[in-house]
Amino acid sequence: MMIARRLFSISAKVAAPNAANANEVIVSAVNGKRVITLNRPRALNALNLPMVRSLYPKFKKTKDIESFFGARVGRMGHGSDVRVVKEFDSKSNEVGEPYGSTTCMKWNEEGGVSLVIIKGAGDKAFCAGGDVVSVTKSYKANDPAQTVHKDFFREEYLLNHQIGVCKVPFIALIDGITMGGKWNEEGGVSLVIIKGAGDKAFCAGGDVVSVTKSYKANDPAQTVHKDFFREEYLLNHQIGVCKVPFIALIDGITMGGGCGLSVHGKFRVATERTMLAMPETALGLFPDVGGSYFLPRLSHYLGQFIALTGYRLNGADVCHSGIATHFVPSSSLVDLENELMKLPNSEVSNERVGEVISKFRPTTIPKFSLEPLLSKIESVFSANTVEEVVERLRKSDSDFARKQLAVLAKMSPTSMKITLRQLQEGAKMKFNEVFTMEYRLTQNIMKGHDFHEGCRAILIDKDRKPVWKPATLEEVTPQILDAYFAPLPPSDELIIR
Residues 226-264 pLDDT 10s: 999 999 999 999 999 998 999 999 999 999 999 999 999
| Mean per-residue pLDDT, 480-484 | 98
Whether the per-residue pLDDT at 453 is higher than 90: the answer is yes
Q: Are strands 241-250 and 116-121 parallel, antiparallel or unpaired?
A: parallel
Note whether residue 293 is domain-resident. Answer: yes
Contact in structure between 19 and 82 (CB atoms under 8 Å) = yes
288 flagged as catalytic: yes
pLDDT for res 172: 60
Note whether residue 336 is domain-resident. Answer: yes
Distance between CA atoms of residues 251 and 277, nearest Å: 13
Cα dist from 230 to 60, 194, 435, whole Å: 15, 21, 9
| Mean per-residue pLDDT, 394-418 | 97
315 flagged as catalytic: no
Cite the DSSP H helix spans in 295-398: 302-309, 315-320, 333-342, 350-358, 374-381, 386-395
CATH code where residue 58 lies:
3.90.226.10
Residue 101: give the domain boundaries: 6-358
Q: How many domains does the chain have?
A: 1
Check residues 225 and 82 and name the one with the higher pLDDT.
Answer: 225
366 CB-contact burial (10 Å; exposed 0-12 / middle 13-18 / buried 19+): middle
Q: What is the DSSP letter of 470?
A: S
| Mean per-residue pLDDT, 282-297 | 98
Indicate which residue of 196, 206, 290, 448 is catalytic.
206
Indicate which residue of 185, 280, 337, 438 is catalytic.
280
84-93, 376-385, 441-450: the lowest-pLDDT one:
84-93
pLDDT for res 184: 66
Note whether residue 140 is domain-resident. Answer: yes
Check residues 88 and 165 and name the one with the higher pLDDT.
Answer: 165
Distance between CA atoms of residues 229 and 155, nearest Å: 5
Whether the per-residue pLDDT at 148 is higher than 80: the answer is yes
| Mean per-residue pLDDT, 111-123 | 69
Supply the mean pLDDT for the chain. Answer: 83
Note whether residue 477 is domain-resident. Answer: no
What pLDDT band is residue 76 in, cutting at 50, 70 and 90? very low
Give me the sign of the Cα torsion angle 303, 307, 313, 315.
positive
Note whether residue 143 is domain-resident. Answer: yes
Note whether residue 451 is domain-resident. Answer: no
Q: Are strands 86-89 and 201-206 parallel, antiparallel or unpaired?
A: unpaired
Query: 293-328: buried (b, 16+ CB within 10 Å) or exposed (e) per residue?
Result: bbbbebebbbbbbbbbbbbbbbbbbbbbbebbbbbb
Distance between CA atoms of residues 143 and 244, nearest Å: 40
Distance between CA atoms of residues 364 and 316, nearest Å: 10
Contacts of 36 (CB under 8 A, 6+ apart): 25, 26, 27, 55, 116, 117, 118, 119, 192, 193, 194, 195
Note whether residue 490 is domain-resident. Answer: no
Note whether residue 488 is domain-resident. Answer: no
What pLDDT band is residue 22 in, cutting at 50, 70 and 90? low
Closest by CA to 159, choosing from 116, 125, 122, 188, is 116
pLDDT for res 397: 84
- Give Cα 307 to chain centroid, integer Å: 15
Cα dist from 287 to 45, 206, 348, 418, whole Å: 18, 12, 33, 10
Indicate which residue of 111, 257, 426, 448 is catalytic.
257
Task: Evaluate if pTM is beyond 0.85.
Answer: no
145-149, 317-321, 432-436: the lowest-pLDDT one:
145-149
Determine which helix (DSSP H) or strand (DSSP E) holds 203, and give its type and residue range: strand 201-206
pLDDT for res 62: 52
Whether the per-residue pLDDT at 55 is higher than 70: the answer is yes
Task: Report the share of the chain in percent with pLDDT over 70.
Answer: 78
112 flagged as catalytic: no
Determine which helix (DSSP H) or strand (DSSP E) holds 452, and give its type and residue range: helix 450-455
- Give Cα 116 to chain centroid, integer Å: 16
280 flagged as catalytic: yes
Check residues 309 and 200 and name the one with the higher pLDDT.
Answer: 309
Indicate which residue of 288, 317, 450, 453 is catalytic.
288
Distance between CA atoms of residues 311 and 277, nearest Å: 6
pLDDT for res 495: 94
184-188, 272-276, 394-398: the lowest-pLDDT one:
184-188
Per-residue pLDDT reduced to its tens digit, 353-365: 999 999 999 999 9
